[in-house]
Structure 1
Amino acid sequence: MAPGGSACKEVLESYSTDYDVAMAKLDNNSTPTRATTGSGGKQGIYSTNGVHELLECPVCTCLMYPPIHQCPNGHTLCSNCKIRVLNCCPTCRYDLGNIRCLALEKVAESLELPCTYQSLGCNDIFPYYSKLKHEQHCRFRPYNCPYAGSECSVTGDIPTLVAHLKDDHKVDMHDGCTFNHRYVKSNPHEVENATWMLTVFNCFGRQFCLHFEAFQLGMAPVYMAFLRFMGDENEAKKFSYSLEVGANGRKLIWQGIPRSIRDSHKKVRDSQDGLIIQRNLALYFSGAEREELKLRVTGRIWKEE
């Protein structure tokens, strides 16, 4: 480590250097523009001249938010990466200590940046410290692939995911707002490895995912069918659906609102927000021999006025 006195001098100089570099970039490049933001925005510097690059963590390359740390030589990094590098500066190998880069945090206050999802349709511009919160709930942020039964990492907008489900997961695609599906399982007693089935319906110009699966609910094996909407929650609430299964003069009926694919498949399943059929009743619906599962699930989707 550098001696205490020189370390203090270096730290003071690094604060000045960070601020001077940031201001110099503002002066030497194109004149910063001031842009009107969406809700919660304020006036500030909306610049594409590279100042925001100072705020990129050299380890994870993400934008840094307070506390921004620096080593005695002025190299900066984010608080998460400070832990990852074991408190050792990845640039000069000095111990990081607990030095805050207040100058860089102050520079960040003056910046306004476009939403990360600008290319997907979001035209809002936000103060630096509001941008992250907005992006966590931005309606233009990509959706996760709704396919269940595999760890699929694909993300994208709805048309991209529809094509992905069809081409890569070979999911059945149907047009119409009513359906009549038959599910057959040769060994209904085995549910240790969950069985998933997914069908996509194009209805009212939107897409809906019909899930059917077997899993353990506590100690009891059950079957469950539910619908998810390929869009945001506020749009999903504009629709309703019903599911019906039965035989031998008996039936189960479920009616609900489709869940958005913003909610993970596991979250919807674990909340039991759908038609649940106990195994004994499912076998009763399947026929007297009870040797295989044969369930016919009918349903309807409609739009609420």
Structure 2
Amino acid sequence: MIPGGSSYMDVPEFHPSNQDSSPIGSSTESENSQLSKKIASSVSKLGLSSTGSMHELLECPVCTNSMYPPIHQCPNGHTLCSSCKLRVHNHCPTCRCELGSIRCLALEKVAESLEMPCRYHNLGCSDIFLYYNKLKHEQTCGFRPYNCPYAGSECLITGDIPSLVSHLKHDHKVDMHDGCTFNHRYVKTNPHEVENATWMLTVFNCFGQHFCLHFEAFLLGVVPVYMAFLRFMGDENEAKSFSYSLEVGGNNRKLIWQGVPRSIRDSHKKVRDSYDGLVIHRNMALFFSSGNRKELKLRITGRIWKE
């Protein structure tokens, strides 16, 4: 199955040391002087213009992201980030000189004392951070956009919850329901063919929030299974305010799952691969379906409540 989400990584804080043994470089005194004047010119400006100038100075010319140590430079003083140094095969993207192992320690030191707003300040985050704390905060900022929770394609759409609800309805044609209870019937004419690309998604509007009910079939090793689980369209701390139950049954038997919905901050694949939901093996699913093993008929009921 192709997931619709993405993952984040923690980025450790970095504090440059004055005892760093990496060389400033083999550039000439004149070239170093030009770089120093460029930095000094930006630092001398005050207020928002200073922050904007420094942000531009610390922007990698290749990926356009903010540069974090080690910041590399060519003999002519052009800088770029360590990730892009590998991407450009150790040659400066500006002048094509070989990069070698030159570090721009002056720029790293200037960045150490720089304060900058979160990149999501236009979305409502008003916090200000030291340069080397900023990136770590942005990995978990509550104002960062959400990824589209649809699991059927590599959808790259991001946005706030209202825009994603509209996107799911109009672009992915997802069924929308109001209410906190559900009664779904899933039918499959050939239950012996289970591929890692069978899924369904329904969005519920409940308690003024939105929830994604996933149902899908996939192979657990070589064993076909069916799985249903709920994701909350919001952050994890909000998701913990709710609980849900799922029930499937037949032939006077029933299987019940109860849990807390996962946030859509967790990718679809992460939730599915943790088996955090109602998992039904195919033999049990066929037993619930009246036992003729020729057609799968599963009825899943459930409800959402607020703790």
TM-score, normalised by the number of residues in structure 2: 0.88
Any conservation in 2 of the 1:58–1:77 contact (CA below 8 Å)? yes
User: What is the aligned residue count?
Assistant: 283
The equivalent of 1:154 in structure 2 is: 157
Tell me the CA shift for residue 137 of structure 1: 0.9
Map residues 47-62 of structure 1 onto 2, 5 A cutoff: 47-62=50-65
The equivalent of 1:43 in structure 2 is: none
Any conservation in 1 of the 2:26–2:102 contact (CA below 8 Å)? no
Map residues 147-296 of structure 1 onto 2, 5 A cutoff: 147-296=150-299
The equivalent of 2:91 in structure 1 is: 88
Q: Secondary structure at the match of 2:35?
A: helix
Q: Kindly report the root-mean-square deviation, in angstroms, between the aligned alpha carbons of the 2 structures.
A: 1.6
State the alpha-carbon separation in 2 of the partners of residues 85 and 278 from structure 1. Answer: 49
Tell me the CA shift for residue 9 of structure 1: 5.3
State the alpha-carbon separation in 1 of the partners of residues 63 and 27 from structure 2. Answer: 28
Tell me the CA shift for residue 98 of structure 1: 0.8
Q: Residue 38 of structure 2 is aligned with which of 21, 40, 54?
A: 21
Tell me the CA shift for residue 192 of structure 1: 2.2
Unaligned residue ranges in structure 2 (runs of 5+): 1-24
Q: Secondary structure at the match of 2:187?
A: strand
Unaligned residue ranges in structure 1 (runs of 5+): 1-6, 34-45
Between Structure 1 and Structure 2, whose CA radius of gyration is higher? 1
Tell me the CA shift for residue 193 of structure 1: 4.0
State the alpha-carbon separation in 2 of the partners of residues 85 and 124 from structure 1. Answer: 34
Q: Secondary structure at the match of 1:262?
A: coil
Tell me the CA shift for residue 49 of structure 1: 4.2
State the alpha-carbon separation in 2 of the partners of residues 221 and 291 from structure 1. Answer: 15
Any conservation in 2 of the 1:19–1:107 contact (CA below 8 Å)? no
State the alpha-carbon separation in 2 of the partners of residues 19 and 72 from structure 1. Answer: 14
**Pair 241,206 (structure 1): closer, same or farther in 2 beyond 3 Å:** same
Q: Deviations over 1:13-61 (max 9, x none)?
A: 433322321222343x4x326xxxxxxxxxxxx8344222111111111
Tell me the CA shift for residue 249 of structure 1: 0.8
Q: Does 1:32 align with 2:47?
A: yes
The equivalent of 1:66 in structure 2 is: 69
Percent identity over the alignment is 75
Answer with 66-75 or 13-22: which moved more: 13-22
Any conservation in 2 of the 1:26–1:49 contact (CA below 8 Å)? no
State the alpha-carbon separation in 2 of the partners of residues 241 and 248 from structure 1. Answer: 24
The equivalent of 1:39 in structure 2 is: none
State the alpha-carbon separation in 2 of the partners of residues 191 and 80 from structure 1. Answer: 41
Q: Does 1:134 align with 2:149?
A: no
The equivalent of 1:37 in structure 2 is: none
Tell me the CA shift for residue 180 of structure 1: 0.6
Asked which structure has the greater RCO (Cα within 8 Å, sep 6+), the reply is 2
Any conservation in 1 of the 2:27–2:76 contact (CA below 8 Å)? no
